[in-house]
Structure 1
Amino acid sequence: MTRDLSTSPAKVVLITGGTKGIGAGIAKAYLAQGDTVIVCARTAPQAPIQVGDAKAHFISVDLKSLDDIERLFMDIEEGFGRLDVVINNAGGSPAVDAAEVSPRFHESILKLNLIAPLNVAQQANRLMQKQNSGGCIVFIGSISALRPSPGTAAYGAAKAGVLSLVQSLAVEWAPKVRVVAVSPGLIKTELSHLHYGDESGIARVEQTIPLQRMGLPEDVANACLYVSSEQASYVSGSNLVIHGGGEKPAFLSSND
């Protein structure tokens, strides 16, 4: 998706966890359409996130630290003067057995995937409410919020909480700030082998998806470009699911 820059001015965009995987794909999509992009993570990327000569600005942040989050938004306000779009992307979880893992682990997953995005959104809203044009906050959800999430139970629960947050914040922060969710299904990134094994394992997974492929970071990025654009100015409190048609019902395999 491209934007006519003559009629739609460049935006200042923050992507949390924007240095790799889906986040880096989203950052590159906004860079490609001429926006000023800020990415944050605990550690800097090995190479700058860039498209052509356009580079994302990196800020080191531990999103589990409220002090770090507050500093992040102070830096953005002082350094860029405004903030138009936030992509609440940072999160994730390793596969664990919910019966055996420690309660501290569950708390950590909930903090990273639910509390931290809420804290980011709160700080973003404070800045956006002062702007005549308001802004848009996009939460990256997950298909795990909409179906069982064995191995990542706390993560799925956190993402379900995110969807509830999106609906409530969209009401509280309107009309100046729109709040939207984009929920990916199975997305192929540089870390896919940790979940699905080698290429043959990935191929077997892809056979279960109606569109016969896993999603790519660009697919999620295109959804973010749309929901944060002027074309989606009446979209708020919504969840856009990006899953290639979903998972086939088990009964379809019963006669195989």
Structure 2
Amino acid sequence: MVEIVFLGTAGSTFFGDNFTPSILVDNILLDCPSPCPYTLSRLGWLDKIQLILLTHVHPDHSLGVLELLWHLWIEGKGRRIQVIGPTGTHKFFENLLREIHPSKYQDILSHGVFFEAEPSTKIGNISFYRAKHTVKALAARLDFRDASVCYTGDTSPTRELEEGFRDCDLLIHEATYPPGMEEEAEKDGHSTPIQAANTARKVNAKYLALIHLPYARLGPQIEETYLSSAKKIFSNTFIPKPMDKFILEGGNLGYKS
């Protein structure tokens, strides 16, 4: 049994009380935007995080790690957090912290245990694949005893992801651009709900969750268009709300109240 909590689902920037992508899969946090550590702390979940997986270092996916390192340093308990990201992740945070606190940046950075993954890397039950974005980016597959969760991060469709995500139970796929803008999405390293649904169909996924929707630019009414266009291709598509909880067990996905 795997518990999945969609902490944030908005695309590129926050919208109301919904922040950018962050998904808690058991004790693994997929992406960590700046509001994420506070949200986890408020819910009493901050201590349960064993690993943060960053798909890339764009601020809407990564700056919560900076907040968390600062918090752990101030807290002074010596706690460290594991962070896996693409090549350059450690240097990215080192440069930021050097600018923020030149005399203490190494102490702050030491509260993170960084590992940089390459496409085709496998760490425990996590397999990494190359995502097609505007910076180095990873997509990830998490395989549990009786369930699998795949997360694209930000990407346009690729054959590599289609092969790596085959037969997954839950595909969490970004959908930054509206249907009909497939060419523009690919140029920007993103996808539309139609492309996400096509990927779900090709990989034989059981469920498709659309996230990273452009609420700030196009408003919440886009959900109807996104959902209807995706469902025409892949019927088991849904758009999670912030703080939606699900249980994935034996290939079946159920909502947890």
Quickly name the TM-score band, shorter chain normalised. Answer: 0.3 to 0.5
Q: TM-score, normalised by structure 1?
A: 0.39
Q: Indicate the structure (1 or 2) with the bigger Cα radius of gyration.
A: 1
TM-score (norm 2): 0.39
